[in-house]
């Protein structure tokens, strides 16, 4: 965070305030970790913050300290709306555009309170008074650390804050594997461990708490995988029926898309997941190297994200969505096979 933004933020937080902290819809470990870390920090500084999530998030994140205080907009719409309308500051966390909060968008757009964006996605929108946007960062959690540091609070980081930040860095870097992991990321992680983050336990709580249903669903997903070597591409489909047969719960498909990239020679991996409730096919895309799934998702699937990890959606049937996706590949064959 640059010094002008740090000064502006310091001024904004100089007296106790009611503060809304909003992660993106379908929040992941980074969004919830960053939101809760900021929540704990602001409580410590005498503010009255509330994390308002657009919808629910997976069980494997619900061990995080403060999780019981998160408001779910889908379930507590009235209460959440009332809080938002009277908040003096709104932090938006881990997203670059208000369209990423689903139904909360209409309410956020009407608010007069100043917004603070902390985010690492490309192409940030222009709604925030303070916009701390840095696509080179591993995670929004790493950026919350730098924010706290810029505010002079680094040494006050508690074990709770450290746990939340460590969890988001861990998940958004694919356990320190992705190219966005820098030496600074490791330094921040090391500092968080020194401040009490339970690194090994956090890894277990997130990755080693599978249910049998989830593992069987993974088996089904891997069985459905279609490999297209001529386009260096692999994709997976999961229908609503297949999800139902495996007692699908939110978060169960997290990480499935990555299996495609573990195949030698595969540079684009995609998963299409049917959501009958929302009437959409949710799409996750991952790439290796410089093929930008962010641009691909933006151009064809009403989505976006990062160069190597993005998402989008389709309102067509699974069959039509997959046919459309396959029809796009010849156009990109050269880039994919580079
Ligand atoms: P995931 O595939 O894990 O849901 O998301 C991968 C990345 O793409 C994340 O950074 C996420 O914020 C972004 N993303 C996922 N879905 C969407 C979407 O529908 N629209 C946009 N703009 N970004 C998305
Ligand atoms: Mn993130």
Domain locations along the chain? 3-207, 212-336
Query: Does 338 have pLDDT greater than 90?
Result: no
- In sequence order, the 6+-apart residues with CB closer than 8 A to the CB of 27 are 35, 53, 54, 57, 61, 94
Supply the CATH classification number for the domain 3-207: 3.90.1640.10
Listing DSSP states for 206-250 in one string gives: HHS---HHHHHHHHHHHHT-EEEGGGTEEEEEE-HHHHHHTT--T
Q: What's the DSSP call for residue 256?
A: T
In percent, the amount of the chain with pLDDT more than 70 equals: 100
175 touches 203 (CB < 8 A): yes
Supply the CATH classification number for the domain 212-336: 3.10.310.30
Give me the mean pLDDT over the 220-234 stretch.
98
135 touches 123 (CB < 8 A): no
Ligand of minimum distance to the alpha carbon of 100: 1
pLDDT grade for 45, boundaries at 50, 70 and 90: very high
Angle at 174 between CA 196 and CA 167, to 5 degrees: 25
- The pair phi, psi for residue 230, each rounded to 5°, is -65, -20
Instruction: Convert the pLDDT of each residue in 159-206 to its tens digit.
Output: 999 999 999 999 999 999 999 999 999 999 999 999 999 999 999 999
In percent, the amount of the chain with pLDDT more than 90 equals: 99
Ligand of minimum distance to the alpha carbon of 305: 1
Question: What ipTM describes this predicted complex?
Answer: 0.97
- The pair phi, psi for residue 226, each rounded to 5°, is -110, 130
Q: CA 17 to CA 113: how far, in whole Å?
A: 11
Q: What does the pLDDT read at residue 289?
A: 93
C-beta atoms surrounding 173 within 10 Å: 22
Instruction: Convert the pLDDT of each residue in 73-126 to its tens digit.
Output: 999 999 999 999 999 999 999 999 999 999 999 999 999 999 999 999 999 999
Residue minimizing CA distance to atom 10 of ligand 1: 305
- Predicted structure pTM score: 0.94
Give ligand 1 pocket residues (Cβ under 6 A): 24, 100, 284, 303-306, 309-313
């Amino acid at each position: 965070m640059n010094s002008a933004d740090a000064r502006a933020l310091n001024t904004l937080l100089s007296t106790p305030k009611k503060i809304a902290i909003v992660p993106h819809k379908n929040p992941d470990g980074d969004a919830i970790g960053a939101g809760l870390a900021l929540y704990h920090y602001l409580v410590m500084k005498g503010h009255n913050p509330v994390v308002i999530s657009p919808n629910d998030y997976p069980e494997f994140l619900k061990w995080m300290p403060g999780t019981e205080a998160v408001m779910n907009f889908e379930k507590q719409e009235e209460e959440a709306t009332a809080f938002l309308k009277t908040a003096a500051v709104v932090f938006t966390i881990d997203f670059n555009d208000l369209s990423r909060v689903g139904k909360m968008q209409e309410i956020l757009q009407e608010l007069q309170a100043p917004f603070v964006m902390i985010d690492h996605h490309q192409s940030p929108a222009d709604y925030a008074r303070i916009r701390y946007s840095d696509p080179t960062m591993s995670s929004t959690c790493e950026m919350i650390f730098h924010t706290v540091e810029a505010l002079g609070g680094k040494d006050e980081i508690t074990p709770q804050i450290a746990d939340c930040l460590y969890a988001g860095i861990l998940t958004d870097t694919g356990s320190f594997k992705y190219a966005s992991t820098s030496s600074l990321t490791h330094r921040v992680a090391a500092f968080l461990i020194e401040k009490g983050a339970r690194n090994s336990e956090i890894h277990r709580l997130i990755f080693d708490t599978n249910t049998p249903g989830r593992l069987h669903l993974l088996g089904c997903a891997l069985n459905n995988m279609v490999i297209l070597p001529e386009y260096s591409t692999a994709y997976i489909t999961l229908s609503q029926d297949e999800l139902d047969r495996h007692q699908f719960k939110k978060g169960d498909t997290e990480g499935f898309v990555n299996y495609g990239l573990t195949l030698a020679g595969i540079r684009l991996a995609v998963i299409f997941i049917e959501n009958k409730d929302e009437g959409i096919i949710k799409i996750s895309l991952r790439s290796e190297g410089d093929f930008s799934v962010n641009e691909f998702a933006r151009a064809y699937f009403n989505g976006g994200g990062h160069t190597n990890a993005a998402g989008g959606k389709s309102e067509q049937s699974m069959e039509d969505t997959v046919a459309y996706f396959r029809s796009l590949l010849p156009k990109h064959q050269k880039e994919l096979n580079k």
